[in-house]
Homo-oligomer: A and B are copies of this chain.
């Protein structure tokens, strides 16, 4: 089986930007970049030596693979407008089912499990890719495509992908919110979050080689009543933070 060589990107945001550059760096060519904003399409297309496009009906059928990297709630609307059905098409969403693409013959998921920001480089060959497809040939093409970018490529079905996405909400979105609360608490006493940053990095590093269950520390883990009560009092000016403190603390104590 020969590796597909030409790609159309549907989307021009963070995911499209990082994937597009990675494809280009690994010998693929990008034919078109679609975005509903012509400025965004043009900006990314010019970086990728591709043609910009802001109207779905001008997306041509000349590429081997079409990668959809747009907001979850826009995927369905866009795919319904694509008239040709015989090319491989895949979306990059963690939460949208494979079936959204079942109007096509060959379709799949090409989900990079990473948080992408526009101006921050990501080591693409360490990004876990989650691949799924409606038939073996498409799956193999998408697996090969992912393997040409990353050393961490996984076959993941839709049920597993849902769980991974949910787990990522806890490990990343909610974790970031914990950082946010910390910053708020510190700022109230004119302290910068900087003082906690080494500890935040170390906490993330510690679970790279150990189960987080075995790494749990702190007053809840020790069931240290005095400290727990002091903390609840210190949070007296925020019922929201108090409630979060209590519920997570109770959970940690239960699971001791």
Contact = CB atoms under 8 A, between A and B. Distances in A.
Nearest to A157: B189
Interface stretch (A3-11, A20-28, A36-44, A217-225): A217-225
Interface in A178-205: 178-183, 185-186, 188-189, 191, 193, 195-205
Interface residues of A, number: 87
A193 to B, nearest CB: 7
Contacts of A197: 207-208
**Which secondary structure dominates where chain A touches chain B?**
helix
B95 A219 contact: yes
Contacts of A156: 191
A245 B169 CA distance: 9
28 contacts: A73-B226, A95-B230, A115-B206, A128-B198, A130-B195, A154-B195, A163-B185, A164-B195, A165-B227, A166-B185, A167-B183, A167-B196, A168-B199, A169-B245, A170-B245, A171-B196, A172-B196, A172-B200, A172-B203, A173-B220, A174-B178, A175-B200, A176-B207, A178-B178, A200-B204, A240-B254, A244-B248, A244-B251
